[in-house]
Amino acid sequence: MQMDASVRSVTGIRSATAITTDARACAQSRMDPITGDWTIFAPHRDSRPDQFGSELRNSPSVGIDCPFCAGEELSTPAPVWVAKINPDESFQAFAPSPNDGPASQYDIADWSVRVVPNKYPAVTGTATREPLHDPPARSNPLFLSREVVGGHEVIIESPSHVQSISELDLPEIKLMLFAYQQRLQYWRNQPGIQYISVFKNVGGDAGASLQHSHSQLLATDQMPNSVETINERMRSHQARTGCCLQCDIVRAELKQKQRIVAQTDSLVAYCPYASHLPMLLRVTTKEHLDHFDQLPFDVLDELARLIQRMTGWLESLVPNASYNLLLHTRPPGAHGNPDAFHWSLEFFPRISRVAGFEWSSQCMINTVLPEVATEKYRQCVAAENPRRVL
């Protein structure tokens, strides 16, 4: 897939779609005085439709009213970013103006990927003012709350009613990843934004409420404590050793080869030494890079191919399994040397349940050693092409 001039120019375009600044639309975050953790409260998300219930992920979708399918564009908010794959596999991307209206050519005409505001957002508003630290019970300083603002977007990955990455064509996966980059760049430039999460839920057990293949982006003006802890560990390692922690891990894994599943020219996929979930795969670049949205286009092509393969491995090992894809990149609010941070992507099936011990201790129990998971994935690689096995 080639990137034409219109795509090159879109990097500097900010979507002009209005985002409400009404304080009543902003979510509330409350701090637990014992743990120090903040919880976002968004009661309106309980109204989301649920197409799964207890059914399998790939259950028949005949008769399902899907707001993400082609022809249902008016069922979603107006798009903030739209792209179309051309016959030669290049693509054009646009950030529509609000003057175009919901019936603009970019909204109704042929499209390959659409990015729209989430109809049931966890956070809304803009992060252009100072956050409020205002306890709801002013007489008791233990009960702290604050307004949390940002944005919540849905990345619709195909006009066809597909449910998994495995059903997407390679150009669609590339464009999905490029959409991640574009929206990360947009939100990184918004004043006050501290953290951006990009993730994909496939299947009810993974948290999806709609079947149609899509990802989500959630940007907030609040850095989660767990993310800040990771950031501090990365900063500390870099300050102590002069090296990036992720780079050191990748070098060690490549040297041992015990948990390496696959490599490309630029990327490595491996099962981490202390995986907290069964069959978890981590992907990152062999060379240092802190921001995912700065990944070169040729490496994006490698990543799309690798993700397509990984999904195939997973679905051959665990048919019908729900799965999650999580993208970790340097948060806008992260301070310190950029050499301390390194992007990564995690991909895992939802085949275990979090029970009482895990909830009470925050210590996970993993029933599949990463070395065993690696061997299972390598068998899938061998089935593709025996020469690819490490």
pLDDT tens, residue order, the chain (390 aa) = 555 434 433 333 333 333 333 434 568 899 999 999 999 988 777 666 555 554 544 554 555 789 999 999 999 999 999 999 999 989 899 887 656 555 455 556 689 999 999 998 999 875 444 444 454 555 688 888 888 899 999 999 999 999 999 999 999 999 999 999 999 999 999 999 999 999 999 998 898 889 999 999 999 999 999 999 999 999 999 999 999 999 999 999 999 999 999 999 999 999 999 999 999 999 999 999 999 999 999 999 999 999 999 999 999 999 988 999 999 999 999 988 989 999 999 999 999 998 999 999 999 999 999 999 999 999 999 998 766 655
Residue 56 maps to a domain = no
Q: Could you say which of 44, 152, 214, 335 is catalytic?
A: 214
pLDDT of residue 54: 47
212 annotated as ligand-binding: yes
Q: Is residue 205 part of a domain?
A: yes
* Residue 243 marked as a ligand binder: no
Supply the range of the domain harboring residue 144.
Answer: 1-9+26-45+66-390
Residue 61 within any structural domain of the chain: no
Q: Is residue 117 part of a domain?
A: yes
- Predicted confidence at residue 322, as pLDDT, reads 94
Asked, for residue 309, whether it belongs to a domain, the answer is yes
What's the confidence (pLDDT) of residue 160? 94
**End-to-end CA separation in angstroms for the chain:** 28
In a domain, 60, yes or no: no
Q: How far is CA 138 from CA 119, 123, 133, in A?
A: 33, 24, 11
Q: Count of CB atoms within 10 A of residue 195's CB? A: 19
pLDDT of residue 168: 96
CATH classification of the domain holding 109: 3.30.428.10
Quote the pTM value: 0.87
Q: With b meaning 16 or more CB within 10 Å and e meaning fewer, what string describes 340-356?
A: bbbbbbbbbbbbbeeee
Measured distance CA(43)–CA(40) in Å, rounded: 10
pLDDT for 107 equals 54
161 known member of a binding site:
yes
Mark whether 214 is an active-site residue: yes
Q: What are phi and psi of 29, to 5 degrees?
A: -120, 135
Closest to 288 in 3D by CA, of 334, 335, 327, 249:
249
CA dihedral of 178, 21, 150, 71, whole degrees rounded to 10: -40
In a domain, 181, yes or no: yes
Q: Considering its fold, how many domains does the chain have in total?
A: 1
What is the reported pLDDT for 105? 52
In angstroms, rounded to a whole number, what is the distance separating the alpha carbons of residues 83 and 337?
34
Q: Report if residue 125 sits inside a domain.
A: yes
